Structure 1
Amino acid sequence: MAPHPPRSAQPRRIGLTGGIASGKSTVAERLTELGAVVIDADELARRVVEPGTDGLAQVIARFGPQVVGEGGGLDRARLGQIVFADDTARRDLEAIIHPRVRALAATLRCCHPGRVVVEMIPLLVETGQSGAFDEVIVVDLPEDLQRERLVRRSGLTPAAAEARIRAQASRDQRLTAATTVFDNSGDRAALIAQVDQWWRELHA
Protein backbone atom coordinates (compact mmCIF):
# COMPACT_ATOMS: atom_id res chain seq x y z
CA MET A 1 0.00 0.00 0.00
CA ALA A 2 1.08 3.57 -0.58
CA PRO A 3 2.24 5.53 2.48
CA HIS A 4 -0.62 7.06 4.41
CA PRO A 5 -0.63 10.88 4.41
CA PRO A 6 -0.27 12.75 7.69
CA ARG A 7 -3.46 13.41 9.61
CA SER A 8 -4.80 16.94 9.56
CA ALA A 9 -7.03 18.86 11.92
CA GLN A 10 -9.88 18.73 9.42
CA PRO A 11 -11.54 15.45 8.43
CA ARG A 12 -10.16 14.16 5.16
CA ARG A 13 -12.37 13.25 2.24
CA ILE A 14 -11.70 9.60 1.50
CA GLY A 15 -12.88 7.97 -1.71
CA LEU A 16 -13.05 4.23 -2.37
CA THR A 17 -13.16 2.91 -5.92
CA GLY A 18 -12.21 0.04 -8.19
CA GLY A 19 -13.44 -1.71 -11.29
CA ILE A 20 -16.55 -3.84 -11.39
CA ALA A 21 -16.10 -7.07 -9.40
CA SER A 22 -12.86 -5.78 -7.89
CA GLY A 23 -13.89 -6.29 -4.27
CA LYS A 24 -15.05 -2.81 -3.27
CA SER A 25 -18.03 -4.16 -1.35
CA THR A 26 -15.80 -6.44 0.72
CA VAL A 27 -13.63 -3.47 1.64
CA ALA A 28 -16.67 -1.34 2.45
CA GLU A 29 -18.14 -4.05 4.67
CA ARG A 30 -14.90 -4.35 6.62
CA LEU A 31 -14.58 -0.58 7.01
CA THR A 32 -18.12 -0.48 8.38
CA GLU A 33 -17.24 -3.21 10.88
CA LEU A 34 -14.22 -1.18 11.97
CA GLY A 35 -16.38 1.89 12.60
CA ALA A 36 -16.31 3.90 9.39
CA VAL A 37 -19.37 5.43 7.79
CA VAL A 38 -19.53 4.27 4.18
CA ILE A 39 -21.56 6.31 1.71
CA ASP A 40 -22.34 4.00 -1.21
CA ALA A 41 -22.83 5.89 -4.47
CA ASP A 42 -24.58 2.89 -6.01
CA GLU A 43 -27.15 2.93 -3.22
CA LEU A 44 -27.63 6.67 -3.67
CA ALA A 45 -28.02 6.14 -7.42
CA ARG A 46 -30.94 3.83 -6.69
CA ARG A 47 -32.48 6.31 -4.29
CA VAL A 48 -32.43 9.23 -6.73
CA VAL A 49 -34.52 7.26 -9.26
CA GLU A 50 -37.05 5.79 -6.88
CA PRO A 51 -40.72 6.05 -7.92
CA GLY A 52 -41.95 9.59 -7.61
CA THR A 53 -38.54 11.26 -7.92
CA ASP A 54 -37.62 13.79 -10.56
CA GLY A 55 -34.62 11.57 -11.34
CA LEU A 56 -36.87 8.74 -12.48
CA ALA A 57 -39.00 11.17 -14.45
CA GLN A 58 -35.90 12.36 -16.30
CA VAL A 59 -34.77 8.80 -17.04
CA ILE A 60 -38.17 7.91 -18.46
CA ALA A 61 -38.23 11.08 -20.53
CA ARG A 62 -34.87 10.13 -22.06
CA PHE A 63 -35.26 6.35 -22.46
CA GLY A 64 -39.00 5.88 -22.71
CA PRO A 65 -41.54 3.72 -20.83
CA GLN A 66 -39.64 0.55 -21.76
CA VAL A 67 -37.35 1.13 -18.76
CA VAL A 68 -40.24 1.11 -16.28
CA GLY A 69 -40.78 -2.19 -14.50
CA GLU A 70 -43.59 -3.63 -12.47
CA GLY A 71 -44.84 -1.31 -9.76
CA GLY A 72 -43.60 1.77 -11.58
CA GLY A 73 -39.95 1.38 -10.57
CA LEU A 74 -36.94 1.37 -12.83
CA ASP A 75 -36.22 -1.82 -14.78
CA ARG A 76 -32.49 -1.81 -14.18
CA ALA A 77 -31.78 -4.87 -16.27
CA ARG A 78 -33.47 -3.36 -19.30
CA LEU A 79 -31.79 0.00 -18.79
CA GLY A 80 -28.43 -1.73 -18.41
CA GLN A 81 -28.87 -3.48 -21.74
CA ILE A 82 -29.42 -0.11 -23.38
CA VAL A 83 -26.64 1.92 -21.83
CA PHE A 84 -23.89 -0.69 -21.95
CA ALA A 85 -24.47 -1.06 -25.69
CA ASP A 86 -24.51 2.68 -26.43
CA ASP A 87 -21.92 5.15 -25.15
CA THR A 88 -24.15 8.14 -25.81
CA ALA A 89 -27.02 6.58 -23.88
CA ARG A 90 -24.70 5.82 -20.98
CA ARG A 91 -23.44 9.40 -20.87
CA ASP A 92 -27.00 10.69 -20.96
CA LEU A 93 -27.92 8.48 -18.02
CA GLU A 94 -24.86 9.61 -16.07
CA ALA A 95 -25.79 13.24 -16.69
CA ILE A 96 -29.10 12.57 -14.97
CA ILE A 97 -27.85 10.41 -12.11
CA HIS A 98 -24.46 11.78 -11.10
CA PRO A 99 -25.37 15.36 -10.08
CA ARG A 100 -28.20 14.05 -7.90
CA VAL A 101 -25.94 11.46 -6.28
CA ARG A 102 -23.26 14.05 -5.52
CA ALA A 103 -25.78 16.40 -3.94
CA LEU A 104 -27.18 13.65 -1.73
CA ALA A 105 -23.68 12.48 -0.75
CA ALA A 106 -22.74 16.03 0.26
CA THR A 107 -25.77 16.15 2.55
CA LEU A 108 -24.93 12.80 4.14
CA ARG A 109 -21.28 13.73 4.76
CA CYS A 110 -22.39 16.43 7.15
CA CYS A 111 -24.43 14.01 9.26
CA HIS A 112 -21.48 12.19 10.87
CA PRO A 113 -19.15 14.61 12.68
CA GLY A 114 -16.16 12.95 14.25
CA ARG A 115 -16.54 9.76 12.23
CA VAL A 116 -14.34 8.44 9.42
CA VAL A 117 -16.50 8.82 6.31
CA VAL A 118 -15.58 6.87 3.17
CA GLU A 119 -17.38 7.48 -0.09
CA MET A 120 -17.56 4.36 -2.26
CA ILE A 121 -17.83 5.56 -5.86
CA PRO A 122 -17.36 2.98 -8.64
CA LEU A 123 -16.97 5.71 -11.28
CA LEU A 124 -14.85 8.08 -9.18
CA VAL A 125 -12.09 8.27 -11.79
CA GLU A 126 -14.40 8.27 -14.80
CA THR A 127 -16.35 11.24 -13.45
CA GLY A 128 -13.23 13.29 -12.72
CA GLN A 129 -13.75 13.37 -8.96
CA SER A 130 -10.38 12.09 -7.80
CA GLY A 131 -9.06 15.61 -7.25
CA ALA A 132 -11.90 16.33 -4.80
CA PHE A 133 -10.59 13.72 -2.34
CA ASP A 134 -7.65 13.88 0.03
CA GLU A 135 -7.22 10.12 -0.31
CA VAL A 136 -8.31 7.76 -3.07
CA ILE A 137 -8.33 4.06 -2.20
CA VAL A 138 -8.33 1.76 -5.21
CA VAL A 139 -9.16 -1.94 -4.96
CA ASP A 140 -7.07 -3.51 -7.70
CA LEU A 141 -6.69 -6.86 -9.44
CA PRO A 142 -5.54 -8.09 -12.87
CA GLU A 143 -8.14 -7.74 -15.62
CA ASP A 144 -8.26 -11.44 -16.45
CA LEU A 145 -9.11 -12.23 -12.82
CA GLN A 146 -11.62 -9.37 -12.74
CA ARG A 147 -13.35 -10.79 -15.83
CA GLU A 148 -13.42 -14.28 -14.37
CA ARG A 149 -14.93 -13.10 -11.08
CA LEU A 150 -17.51 -10.94 -12.85
CA VAL A 151 -18.72 -13.83 -15.01
CA ARG A 152 -18.88 -16.15 -12.02
CA ARG A 153 -20.67 -13.60 -9.82
CA SER A 154 -23.21 -12.25 -12.29
CA GLY A 155 -23.76 -15.02 -14.80
CA LEU A 156 -22.92 -12.64 -17.65
CA THR A 157 -21.44 -13.98 -20.84
CA PRO A 158 -17.72 -13.22 -21.28
CA ALA A 159 -18.61 -10.68 -23.99
CA ALA A 160 -21.12 -8.89 -21.73
CA ALA A 161 -18.62 -8.88 -18.87
CA GLU A 162 -15.98 -7.41 -21.16
CA ALA A 163 -18.38 -4.65 -22.23
CA ARG A 164 -18.96 -3.65 -18.62
CA ILE A 165 -15.24 -3.61 -17.87
CA ARG A 166 -14.48 -1.53 -20.97
CA ALA A 167 -17.22 0.96 -20.04
CA GLN A 168 -15.15 1.91 -16.99
CA ALA A 169 -11.76 3.54 -16.57
CA SER A 170 -8.75 1.40 -17.32
CA ARG A 171 -6.75 -0.25 -14.60
CA ASP A 172 -3.86 2.14 -15.26
CA GLN A 173 -6.12 5.17 -14.97
CA ARG A 174 -7.39 4.06 -11.57
CA LEU A 175 -3.91 3.28 -10.29
CA THR A 176 -2.68 6.70 -11.40
CA ALA A 177 -5.40 8.32 -9.27
CA ALA A 178 -4.72 6.13 -6.23
CA THR A 179 -3.03 7.23 -3.04
CA THR A 180 -3.64 3.80 -1.48
CA VAL A 181 -3.99 0.48 -3.32
CA PHE A 182 -5.53 -2.69 -1.91
CA ASP A 183 -4.42 -5.71 -3.92
CA ASN A 184 -7.30 -8.16 -4.35
CA SER A 185 -5.54 -10.74 -6.48
CA GLY A 186 -5.50 -13.10 -3.49
CA ASP A 187 -8.20 -14.36 -1.16
CA ARG A 188 -10.62 -12.46 1.06
CA ALA A 189 -8.43 -12.80 4.15
CA ALA A 190 -5.52 -11.14 2.37
CA LEU A 191 -7.72 -8.23 1.33
CA ILE A 192 -9.16 -7.79 4.82
CA ALA A 193 -5.64 -7.75 6.28
CA GLN A 194 -4.76 -4.77 4.07
CA VAL A 195 -7.89 -2.90 5.14
CA ASP A 196 -7.10 -3.53 8.80
CA GLN A 197 -3.55 -2.30 8.33
CA TRP A 198 -4.80 0.90 6.66
CA TRP A 199 -7.24 1.46 9.53
CA ARG A 200 -4.49 1.05 12.12
CA GLU A 201 -2.31 3.57 10.28
CA LEU A 202 -5.22 5.99 10.03
CA HIS A 203 -5.56 6.01 13.81
CA ALA A 204 -1.87 5.84 14.68
Structure 2
Amino acid sequence: EVVNQRMLRDQVAKRIEVTTKALQEAEQQHKELERRLRQYPQLEEPDIAKLLAPLESAIEAQKARIEQVQATINSLVIRAPIRGTICAIYCWPGQQVRRGDPILTLAAQHGRYIVAYVRQDQRLAPQVDMPVEVRPRLPASRPLLTRVERVGPQVEPVPLHHCRDPKTPEWGLPVRIALPTGFMGRPGELLDVTFTQTGGSGE
Protein backbone atom coordinates (compact mmCIF):
# COMPACT_ATOMS: atom_id res chain seq x y z
CA GLU A 1 0.00 0.00 0.00
CA VAL A 2 2.88 2.35 0.78
CA VAL A 3 4.37 1.59 -2.62
CA ASN A 4 1.09 2.42 -4.32
CA GLN A 5 0.88 5.73 -2.48
CA ARG A 6 4.39 6.63 -3.57
CA MET A 7 3.64 5.77 -7.18
CA LEU A 8 0.47 7.90 -7.09
CA ARG A 9 2.41 10.78 -5.52
CA ASP A 10 5.09 10.56 -8.20
CA GLN A 11 2.44 10.62 -10.95
CA VAL A 12 0.74 13.68 -9.45
CA ALA A 13 4.08 15.43 -9.03
CA LYS A 14 4.96 14.71 -12.63
CA ARG A 15 1.59 16.09 -13.79
CA ILE A 16 2.15 19.21 -11.72
CA GLU A 17 5.58 19.61 -13.24
CA VAL A 18 4.23 19.22 -16.79
CA THR A 19 1.34 21.57 -16.10
CA THR A 20 3.62 24.15 -14.52
CA LYS A 21 5.96 23.98 -17.49
CA ALA A 22 3.04 24.39 -19.91
CA LEU A 23 1.75 27.34 -17.89
CA GLN A 24 5.17 28.99 -17.99
CA GLU A 25 5.36 28.49 -21.75
CA ALA A 26 1.86 29.96 -22.15
CA GLU A 27 2.82 32.97 -20.05
CA GLN A 28 5.94 33.48 -22.14
CA GLN A 29 3.92 33.27 -25.36
CA HIS A 30 1.41 35.76 -23.95
CA LYS A 31 4.18 38.21 -23.09
CA GLU A 32 5.72 37.75 -26.53
CA LEU A 33 2.39 38.46 -28.21
CA GLU A 34 1.92 41.58 -26.12
CA ARG A 35 5.41 42.75 -27.09
CA ARG A 36 4.71 42.17 -30.79
CA LEU A 37 1.34 43.90 -30.52
CA ARG A 38 3.00 46.99 -29.07
CA GLN A 39 5.33 47.11 -32.07
CA TYR A 40 2.42 47.55 -34.52
CA PRO A 41 1.24 51.16 -35.09
CA GLN A 42 -2.13 52.04 -33.63
CA LEU A 43 -4.84 51.39 -36.23
CA GLU A 44 -7.38 54.15 -36.87
CA GLU A 45 -10.96 53.41 -37.80
CA PRO A 46 -11.59 54.24 -41.45
CA ASP A 47 -13.43 57.48 -42.13
CA ILE A 48 -16.66 56.16 -43.65
CA ALA A 49 -17.70 59.57 -44.92
CA LYS A 50 -14.45 59.93 -46.88
CA LEU A 51 -14.80 56.45 -48.33
CA LEU A 52 -18.41 57.04 -49.38
CA ALA A 53 -17.87 60.56 -50.75
CA PRO A 54 -16.90 59.42 -54.30
CA LEU A 55 -19.86 57.05 -54.44
CA GLU A 56 -22.28 59.71 -53.21
CA SER A 57 -20.90 62.16 -55.75
CA ALA A 58 -21.42 59.62 -58.55
CA ILE A 59 -24.98 58.94 -57.34
CA GLU A 60 -25.82 62.66 -57.32
CA ALA A 61 -24.41 63.02 -60.83
CA GLN A 62 -26.60 60.17 -62.05
CA LYS A 63 -29.64 61.71 -60.35
CA ALA A 64 -28.94 64.99 -62.13
CA ARG A 65 -28.71 63.18 -65.46
CA ILE A 66 -31.99 61.38 -64.78
CA GLU A 67 -33.70 64.69 -63.95
CA GLN A 68 -32.31 66.22 -67.14
CA VAL A 69 -33.56 63.30 -69.24
CA GLN A 70 -36.96 63.47 -67.52
CA ALA A 71 -37.18 67.19 -68.24
CA THR A 72 -36.38 66.50 -71.90
CA ILE A 73 -39.09 63.82 -72.02
CA ASN A 74 -41.59 66.17 -70.39
CA SER A 75 -40.78 68.89 -72.92
CA LEU A 76 -41.58 66.48 -75.75
CA VAL A 77 -45.06 65.79 -74.39
CA ILE A 78 -47.67 68.21 -75.72
CA ARG A 79 -50.70 68.57 -73.49
CA ALA A 80 -53.91 70.05 -74.83
CA PRO A 81 -55.24 72.93 -72.72
CA ILE A 82 -58.81 71.70 -73.19
CA ARG A 83 -60.77 68.52 -73.80
CA GLY A 84 -62.20 68.10 -77.24
CA THR A 85 -62.14 66.37 -80.60
CA ILE A 86 -59.20 66.41 -83.01
CA CYS A 87 -60.33 67.99 -86.26
CA ALA A 88 -57.06 68.10 -88.19
CA ILE A 89 -53.50 66.80 -87.75
CA TYR A 90 -50.61 68.75 -89.26
CA CYS A 91 -47.59 66.88 -87.87
CA TRP A 92 -46.85 63.22 -87.25
CA PRO A 93 -44.39 61.34 -84.99
CA GLY A 94 -40.82 61.68 -86.25
CA GLN A 95 -41.32 65.08 -87.88
CA GLN A 96 -39.34 68.10 -86.77
CA VAL A 97 -41.30 71.18 -85.76
CA ARG A 98 -40.37 74.68 -84.68
CA ARG A 99 -41.76 76.64 -81.79
CA GLY A 100 -45.15 78.00 -82.80
CA ASP A 101 -45.80 75.49 -85.60
CA PRO A 102 -49.36 74.10 -85.50
CA ILE A 103 -49.54 70.44 -84.52
CA LEU A 104 -53.26 69.82 -84.75
CA THR A 105 -56.64 71.49 -84.54
CA LEU A 106 -58.69 70.62 -81.47
CA ALA A 107 -62.38 71.42 -81.20
CA ALA A 108 -63.48 71.92 -77.61
CA GLN A 109 -66.51 70.07 -76.34
CA HIS A 110 -67.91 73.25 -74.82
CA GLY A 111 -67.11 76.91 -75.22
CA ARG A 112 -65.34 78.76 -72.42
CA TYR A 113 -66.46 82.27 -73.33
CA ILE A 114 -68.26 84.25 -76.03
CA VAL A 115 -66.56 86.62 -78.45
CA ALA A 116 -68.57 89.42 -80.02
CA TYR A 117 -67.33 92.04 -82.50
CA VAL A 118 -68.58 95.60 -82.14
CA ARG A 119 -68.50 97.46 -85.46
CA GLN A 120 -67.77 101.16 -85.58
CA ASP A 121 -71.16 101.98 -87.05
CA GLN A 122 -72.85 100.52 -83.96
CA ARG A 123 -71.61 103.47 -81.87
CA LEU A 124 -71.09 101.35 -78.79
CA ALA A 125 -68.30 101.62 -76.21
CA PRO A 126 -68.27 98.28 -74.36
CA GLN A 127 -66.71 98.18 -70.91
CA VAL A 128 -65.73 95.44 -68.49
CA ASP A 129 -68.68 94.21 -66.37
CA MET A 130 -71.21 95.81 -68.73
CA PRO A 131 -74.46 93.74 -68.65
CA VAL A 132 -75.08 91.63 -71.73
CA GLU A 133 -78.01 89.55 -72.93
CA VAL A 134 -77.21 86.45 -74.97
CA ARG A 135 -79.84 84.59 -76.98
CA PRO A 136 -79.17 81.29 -78.77
CA ARG A 137 -80.46 81.14 -82.33
CA LEU A 138 -82.95 78.40 -81.54
CA PRO A 139 -86.75 78.39 -81.62
CA ALA A 140 -88.36 79.63 -78.39
CA SER A 141 -84.98 80.48 -76.85
CA ARG A 142 -84.89 83.06 -74.09
CA PRO A 143 -82.23 85.71 -73.45
CA LEU A 144 -79.59 84.86 -70.86
CA LEU A 145 -77.98 87.53 -68.72
CA THR A 146 -74.19 87.73 -68.45
CA ARG A 147 -71.43 90.37 -68.50
CA VAL A 148 -68.39 91.61 -70.40
CA GLU A 149 -65.13 90.03 -69.20
CA ARG A 150 -62.60 91.78 -71.42
CA VAL A 151 -62.45 94.35 -74.21
CA GLY A 152 -59.87 93.97 -76.98
CA PRO A 153 -57.11 96.58 -77.33
CA GLN A 154 -57.63 97.21 -81.05
CA VAL A 155 -60.00 96.78 -83.97
CA GLU A 156 -59.53 93.50 -85.84
CA PRO A 157 -60.90 91.80 -88.96
CA VAL A 158 -64.20 90.11 -88.15
CA PRO A 159 -64.14 86.34 -88.85
CA LEU A 160 -65.91 85.45 -92.06
CA HIS A 161 -68.75 83.51 -90.42
CA HIS A 162 -69.42 86.52 -88.16
CA CYS A 163 -69.83 88.90 -91.08
CA ARG A 164 -73.31 90.02 -92.01
CA ASP A 165 -72.33 89.58 -95.66
CA PRO A 166 -69.52 87.03 -96.16
CA LYS A 167 -68.56 88.78 -99.40
CA THR A 168 -67.91 92.07 -97.61
CA PRO A 169 -64.99 92.27 -95.13
CA GLU A 170 -65.80 93.85 -91.79
CA TRP A 171 -63.77 95.21 -88.91
CA GLY A 172 -64.75 95.29 -85.27
CA LEU A 173 -63.59 95.56 -81.67
CA PRO A 174 -63.43 92.08 -80.07
CA VAL A 175 -65.28 91.76 -76.77
CA ARG A 176 -65.00 88.72 -74.54
CA ILE A 177 -68.23 87.83 -72.75
CA ALA A 178 -68.64 85.34 -69.91
CA LEU A 179 -70.78 82.28 -70.57
CA PRO A 180 -74.16 82.60 -68.86
CA THR A 181 -74.67 80.29 -65.91
CA GLY A 182 -75.86 76.88 -67.07
CA PHE A 183 -75.37 77.64 -70.76
CA MET A 184 -73.33 74.98 -72.61
CA GLY A 185 -72.60 76.65 -75.92
CA ARG A 186 -70.76 74.84 -78.67
CA PRO A 187 -67.55 76.32 -80.11
CA GLY A 188 -68.29 78.29 -83.28
CA GLU A 189 -72.01 78.64 -82.52
CA LEU A 190 -73.50 82.01 -83.47
CA LEU A 191 -75.49 83.87 -80.80
CA ASP A 192 -77.42 87.12 -80.69
CA VAL A 193 -75.73 89.52 -78.26
CA THR A 194 -77.25 92.68 -76.81
CA PHE A 195 -75.37 95.14 -74.62
CA THR A 196 -78.23 96.21 -72.37
CA GLN A 197 -76.70 99.28 -70.75
CA THR A 198 -76.58 101.40 -73.88
CA GLY A 199 -79.22 99.70 -75.91
CA GLY A 200 -76.77 98.89 -78.71
CA SER A 201 -76.12 95.40 -79.98
CA GLY A 202 -73.24 93.48 -81.48
CA GLU A 203 -72.82 89.98 -82.90
- The TM-score bracket by the shorter chain reads under 0.3
For normalisation by structure 1, the TM-score amounts to 0.18
Q: Which has the higher helix share?
A: 1
For normalisation by structure 2, the TM-score amounts to 0.18
Q: Which has the higher contact order (CA 8 A, sep 6+)?
A: 1
Q: Which has the higher strand share?
A: 2
Larger radius of gyration: 2
